[in-house]
Amino acid sequence: MSRVEIGAHDRVFVLTGAGISAESGLPTFRAEDGLWAGYRVEDVCTPEAWRRDPAGVWAFYSARRAAGMKAEPNPAHIALAELEAGLGDRFFLCTQNVDDLHERAGSTRLLHMHGELGKSRCERECGRAPVEDHAIYASLDQVPRCPCGGRLRPHIVFFGEMPLEMGRIQSEIDKATVMLVVGTSGSVYPAASFVHWARQNGARTVYIGPEAPLNASAFTQIVEGKAGQVMPGLFQIEAAIPAL
């Protein structure tokens, strides 16, 4: 298998999706036995679902929290943390995942564009920052209220809501000369467009996963395989030449 070379002046932008956590035991969304086979998006992951049935939404995300707590980072998460350690601020990780397996593997320069399972925020968007919250709620009465009176909702970007920190993501993509995309089907926007933005800027684009994503034609290299199997040892980092 050919390695992915990172030159001394390259800047790497990484986008990860549910596939990177699959080998940690967390189901992806669109596989035959994935989360969206057992639940309807409209019932658990939209602003309308939250207004209609907040208990059902919390039941879904409480189950996700319980599964997330049991999972451990796999070799793919660790390979990205090691890549960051080698590249420092020439590395940036944007994940669509709401689990915390990247952090637990040691990644620090990362952003969760679809929110975080381990946080909640006020449903009224009252301006208070999201709070850390790992609770598993058995009923709606257990869900705390914000000081403003609003109910806490999961800090998750529902379908139809804007992903978080798009300005920062755009500026990191503009700086990147290499984009690595790992374990995402390329079916949810705007994340599925990132590879096109990177290509417009002239970046090399590499996809890692067991099957071609929907936007496969936009990649300059495809590394076929399960992320946890193919990522350890995949990256060859050229040493930076010290300035005279």
Q: Which residues are marked as active site?
A: 114
11, 13, 23, 180: residue in contact with ligand APR (rule CB under 6 A): 23
CB of 82 to ligand APR, least distance (A): 17
30, 104, 109, 199: residue in contact with ligand APR (rule CB under 6 A): 30
Tokens at 202, concatenated: 């002239």
Q: Which stretch binds ligand APR (CB under 6 A): 136-144, 162-170, 178-186, 234-242?
A: 178-186
Q: Which stretch binds ligand APR (CB under 6 A): 6-14, 50-58, 117-125, 185-193?
A: 185-193
Cβ atoms < 10 Å from Cβ of 80: 28
CB of 19 to ligand APR, least distance (A): 2
Task: For the segment 190-229, give every residue that binds ligand APR (CB under 6 A).
Answer: 209-211, 213, 226-227
DSSP 3-state of 112: strand
- Which of 224, 97, 200, 230 shows the shortest CA–CA distance to 156? 97
Tokens at 16, concatenated: 């990860």
DSSP 3-state of 79: helix
Look at the alpha carbons of 196, 197, 201, 203 in this order and tell me if their dihedral is positive or negative.
Answer: negative
4, 22, 26, 178: residue in contact with ligand APR (rule CB under 6 A): 22
Size of the site for ligand APR (CB under 6 A): 24
Nearer to ligand APR among residue 142 and residue 187 (C-beta): 187
11, 90, 114, 119: residue in contact with ligand APR (rule CB under 6 A): 114
- Tell whether residue 4 is a contact of ligand APR (CB under 6 A): no
- Which of 143, 153, 147 shows the shortest CA–CA distance to 128? 147
DSSP 3-state of 37: helix
- Tell whether residue 185 is a contact of ligand APR (CB under 6 A): yes
∠222-21-65 over CA atoms, to 5°?
A: 155
29, 61, 194, 197: residue in contact with ligand APR (rule CB under 6 A): 29
Q: Is the peptide bond before 130 cis (omega within 30 degrees of 0)?
A: no
State which residue has the least CB distance to ligand APR.
19
Supply φ then ψ for residue 123, to 5 degrees.
Answer: -70, -20
- Tell whether residue 17 is a contact of ligand APR (CB under 6 A): yes
Q: Please tell me the distance from the alpha carbon of residue 205 to that of residue 212, in angstroms, as a whole number.
A: 14
- Which of 69, 43, 68 shows the shortest CA–CA distance to 58? 43
CB of 32 to ligand APR, least distance (A): 11
Could you list the residues that contact ligand APR (CB under 6 A)? 17-20, 22-23, 28-31, 34, 96, 114, 183-185, 187-188, 209-211, 213, 226-227
